Amino acid sequence: MEKKKKPEDYLRVEIPTDLPYRWSTGPYVGKFFAELRDNGKIYSSKCPSCGFLFTPPRVVCPRCHIRLPMWPDWQESGPKGTILTFSVVKAPFHDTVTGRLRKVPYTAAGIKLHNGGVLEHFLDEKDETKIKVGMRVEAVLKPREQRRGNMEDILFFRISPE
């Protein structure tokens, strides 16, 4: 009987799909990034009904389904906060900015900002034995002239010395 062929025995097709895209943040997140870029401030919005805090601010509270206030009725939060959750990533994963795989290891974390909500960002510490939930952290921003009004304006969160 003829030996069963493997998929690799057949012709190979390579399709290197590169999809650059551009999207508008809308007024709420746009203002959040503009404030981050121009004044280095992180703003949160608070639901007048349930009191939940959103960082970045959102238009509608997903729990109460009511419209949330626009700037200037936002509150300044951070740059200090505490680690709510974290994950040291060791399997390469896509970077939505470059489209390529992010260099590993890196630490993704949910930061409960002082006077604000939970912001998803990175920690500069990549050793999981040195990170604990509840640790105090602080945002490290790019210098003013390098900020472009996006999430990369915050470089990472640094663990504050106790």
Partner 1 sequence: MSEELIFLNGRTWIPTVYYVGEFRTKFFEEIRDNKRILGVRCPECKCVYVPPRATCPRCFNKLSEWVPVGNQGTVLTYTTVYYDTRVQAIQPKKPPFTYGIIKLDGADTGLIHFIDQYHASDLKVGMRVEAVFKEQCTGSILDIECFKPV
Query: Residue numbers of the site for partner 1 (CB under 8 A)?
Result: 5, 7-25, 27, 29-31, 33-34, 94, 96-100, 149-150
Identify the bridge partners of residue 60 per DSSP, sorted by sequence position. Answer: 67
Q: Would you say 4 or 65 has its CB closer to partner 1?
A: 4
The half-sphere exposure of 49 on its side-chain side, counting CA atoms within 13 A, is 9
Least separation in angstroms between residue 69's CB and partner 1 is 13
Q: Indicate the residue type of 143.
A: P
In three-state secondary structure terms, 92 is: coil
What residue has token string 């939930």?
A: 133
Q: How far apart are CA 157 and CA 4, in angstroms?
A: 54
Q: Would you say 10 or 129 has its CB closer to partner 1?
A: 10
Q: Would you say 64 or 151 has its CB closer to partner 1?
A: 151
Least separation in angstroms between residue 154's CB and partner 1 is 14
In three-state secondary structure terms, 71 is: coil
Least separation in angstroms between residue 160's CB and partner 1 is 29
Least separation in angstroms between residue 60's CB and partner 1 is 18
